[in-house]
Each structure stands twice: as structure tokens, then as C-alpha cells.
Chain A
Amino acid sequence: MSLHVAVATRAFRRYSTYRAATLAGIFTNSVFGVIYSYAYLALWAANPDAGGYDAVDAVTFVWLGQALLMTVALFGGGSTEDLAERIRTGDVAIDLYRPVGLIGWYLASDLGRAAYHLLSRGLAPLAVGLLLFDLTLPVSPLHALAFVVSLPLAVTLSFTVRFLVACSAFWLLDSSGLRVLSLGFALFFSGMTLPLVLFPGWLGTVAEAMPFAGFLQVPADLWLGRHEGVDILARLGFQVGWIVVLLAACALVLRAATRKVVLQGG
């Protein structure tokens, strides 16, 4: 456990050295936040309770999205990028023989990164949003707590998906196509492009059931107070459920990969 804390701390420090990059990123997040805010304001002006949100909810959703964009690594990146590189170069063989679990190691590193991104590229755009627009805060301490709990779950969930994509490099000569695809799906089905509550009919049903919903839509709905009582637990359970399934998939894929590396020497 203390090893994983050390790994996470190191990742946190590593990202915190790029100060100019962080500032530029905050600026860009804010610009996109403003653009989407006006788009949503126009949408909700035309249809004041679209998807069950009001205009303030919608704009809050935009800024939560900008705050979580880097934290949840919706654009990819994070520790899984290092893993993909190590698979490409073959260095991963060393990792596979370490006594420490590979998944735990990279997950710890990704959580450390996410913590830094939350504190810098999460909080700063949110503050900008609060200054420029009318946003809603969590309706009760319970909802705030639920949101806070859902964040590491969202990061872990996104990690498992990115981990699986990175592992495809064990078999594919070039996994960039798959990476672009998973990135696009993450952006679209997390609610980043448009809140999932607006998706009509079966598309909405499918979108809400996919793991990507746990990246942004679930934490945002907890913040917005769209759920009460047991429903809150059910939403967190949704994230946990997918994490369990996908972590199991990661473990299976890793075992197959290890066998392949051992048999073929990479």
C-alpha cells in the first residue's frame, strides 16, 4: 500500500513541474467552457427543461465537464500512455517480472496524476465558470460527498478502459486507430460532447448504460442533485460495477499478454 502511495505521489510531482503547460491548459479549458456555456444557454432558452435540466444545471454541467476533462483523461493520456510506450519498446517485459502487480502500479500512478489535474486544471476552470456564469453548487453536504466519492471511481473507470486499449498493443502492430476510436467514444458517450440526458430514445438508454457514463455524467448528476437516497448509492454502484467487470477484463488480458511475452519473448 505504501508503495502505491509513493508511486502516486511521484506521478503527482511529475505533472506539477509543467507550470506553463498547466496555465495554457487552464486558459484553453476556460475558452471552451465559455463557448459551450453559450451554446447550452441558447439550447435551454429554446427548450427550458430539456433533458430535465434547467439552464443553470446545463451551464454547471459544462464547467464540470471542463474540470473533469483532464482529471478523468477524456482525451487519453495518463499513465496508460507510458504503458503503451513500454509495450511498444518491449520494456514491459521487465514490468511483467516485477513482484508488484502491473495494474495496481499504473493505477496508482494514474490516480496521482488525476489528483494533480483535479487541483489545477479542475479547480481553476471551475472558478472561472463561477466568476462568469451562474452555476449551481451541490444541493447538500451528502451530494457533495457523493460527488467527491465518485471522482476517484470515475478516474479508475476511465483507467481500466485506457489500460485495455493500451494492452491491445501486445497484439496489434499499431494501436493508434483503436486509440482514436476509444477517445472519440469516451468524449461522446461520457456526456462531454452533449449531456446524455438529451440523447433521445434507445440511444439515451444505451449511452446511460455504457461505462463511459461513469466518466462525467454520473459525477455531474450527483453534483447537480438529480438523485436522492438509495439512488445515490445506485449511481456509485454503477461505477463500481463497471470497475469490477473491467478490472477483471484487464487482469485476463494481462495474463494472456504475459503468456505471449513469455512464449515469444515479446
Chain B
Amino acid sequence: MAEIQAEDSLSARGHVGMYAAIAGLWVRAAWVYRTSFVTLVVANGLITGLDAVAIWIMFSQLDLLGGFALHEVALLYGASSLGLGIADTLIGSVERIGEYIRTGRLDQMLTKPLPLLLQVCADQFTLRRLGRITQAAVVFAWAAAYVDWTPARVGVAVVMVVSGGAIFFGLFVTFSCIQFLTKDATEFANAFTYGGATLTQYPLTIFPREVMRSLTFVVPVAFVNWYPCLYLLGRDDPFGLPGWLQLCSPVAAVAMVGVALLTWRAGVRRYTSTGS
């Protein structure tokens, strides 16, 4: 508890500034190898671009997927990919926590007067995922042209992107904590993080009802894009769930981040009390 209080002595704004300072240094370090940095950004953009091409190819075979048209699926895809891209950019290194334990880097961070999670997330910050974010933004913008915009929908869209990032943030952190327990089973986390991202590229109507239920109430990735997109598209919930769920993304985001922080704290506590 005292640790939290001490960390609170640095304001939230201070934390953001500190994160930015560390991240900025990593960006400058990456810029030393300009050619390889640019190649990676372009390569990443191209690769994720192929994902979007795959969806376009699917629609060359049909008109509606699970009752949704191409521009609607593109909206889902863009929103989910944006959320993943943002989270991945901001906290990409948390997936490497096992490596940090092995190399002793985590110990070094523990001797610095900053929250550990902040240091881990900012460490080796890279803008490499800019390619993915750009690509996702382009798809999203194209799909957004079909949306009948109102001020409320603009608000929901903004909240959706922020909440989506936060939900993926929570998933990444939560499942990376497995590495505090075992060094071998890291791939297990991918099923939930990247699995969640893949799943939300499609309308949930193509999955059994149980999938929709667990993505709403257990691992809340449905709030990354599905519910807010239903709102943006002015569609009733195909499963007959109440409309207010479509506005609940921030609630899901707060809950997911809360779970992540608790898991993280438990993981760090385990580390500092076992040393492994």
C-alpha cells in the first residue's frame, strides 16, 4: 500500500511525461538505424495490409458475412486493428517480461524510482507498429464514409478507439503475467491477445452464441469494436441484447485495466518474494 502511495506522489501527468521521456529516447535510439527502421515500418504496414486484402477477397465471394456487408466488416476490422495497434505500440514490451526476468533487467528497473509497469511498457518503445495503425486507420476511414454520422456517434467512435486500446492493454498485461509463473508457456497468451484481435475482425454473428457471451462477460473483447460499431451502424443487437450494452465500452475498459493492474501487482509480488 505504501508503495502505491509513494508512486502517487508523482502525478498522473508526471507519469505520462516520464513515459514520454523514456519512449522518446528509444525512438531516437531506433533512428540511429534509419534504413532498417523505415523498412520495418513499411513491411509491417504491408503485412497488416494483406489482412485487409483477405477480407476484401472474402467479399468477392459473397455479399453478406454473417449478415454484415463489406463496409460494416471493414468498420469492425479497422476499429479492432486500431485498438490492437495502439495497445501494442504503447506497451509492446510487456510481452518480454520473461526475458527481462532472465537477463536481470527487471532487477535494474526495480532500483529506479518509477512504477515498474511504466518502465516495462516504455522500455524498447518502438514506432514500428505505425504501419499497422496507419493501415487500420485507412480501412477505418474508408468504412466510416458509410456511417451516418451524428455528434453522439462521433463521441462513441472516439470512446471506442480509446477503450479498445485500453482493453487490449489489459489483455496484454494480464496474460503476460503468466511469465511470472512459467517461462515456457508464453504462447498461451497469444490465444487471448492476438486470438481476440483476429476474432473481432469478424461479426460475432458468425460464432455460436456462447462465444458472444464469453466475449461480453468473461474476456470483454466484444467491447473493443462489436458493441460500439453496432451503435455507429444503427443496428439492433443481432442476439437481442439490450441497446445500452453498445455504450458500455468504457466500463469494460476500466474493468479490464483494473484486472490487469491487480494481476500485475500479484505477479510482481510473486517475483519479489521468490526471486524467480
Contact = CB atoms under 8 A, between A and B. Distances in A.
Q: Do A and B bind each other?
A: yes
Interface of A: 18-21, 23-25, 27-28, 31-32, 35, 38-39, 41-43, 46-47, 50-51, 173-174, 176-178, 180-181, 183-184, 187-188, 193-194, 198-200, 203
Given A24-B188, A198-B58, 5 more contacts: A21-B184, A32-B195, A42-B202, A47-B61, A181-B46
B61 A43 contact: yes
B39 interface: yes
Contact of A194 (B42, B57, B62, B188): B57
A60 B266 CA distance: 42
Given A18-B184, A35-B198, A50-B62, A41 B57 contact: no
B50 interface: yes
Contact of B57 (A35, A39, A187, A199): A199
Interface of B: 33, 35-36, 39-40, 42-44, 46-47, 50-51, 53-54, 57-58, 60-66, 182, 184-188, 190-191, 195, 198-199, 202, 205-208, 211
Contacts of A25: 187
Nearest to A31: B191
Contacts of B57: 194, 198-200, 203
Given A42-B206, A198-B58, A176 B40 contact: yes
A176 B39 CA distance: 8
**Dominant secondary structure of chain B at its interface with chain A:** helix
Contacts of B50: 184, 187-188, 193
A24 B184 contact: yes
B187 A188 contact: no
B65 A42 contact: yes
A35 B62 contact: no
8 contacts: A20-B182, A24-B186, A46-B64, A174-B36, A178-B39, A184-B46, A188-B50, A193-B51
Contacts of B202: 35, 38-39, 42
Contacts of A41: 206
Given A28-B191, A38-B207, A43-B62, A21 B185 contact: yes
Nearest to A195: B57
Nearest to B50: A188
B98 to A, nearest CB: 11
Contacts of B35: 173-174
Given A24-B188, A174-B33, A180-B40, A51 B61 contact: yes
A173 B206 CA distance: 46
A200 B53 CA distance: 11
The 10 closest A-B pairs by CB, nearest first: A177-B39, A184-B47, A42-B206, A20-B184, A174-B36, A46-B62, A24-B188, A24-B185, A31-B191, A180-B43
B188 A28 contact: yes
Nearest to A50: B61
Nearest to A121: B187
A35 B199 contact: yes
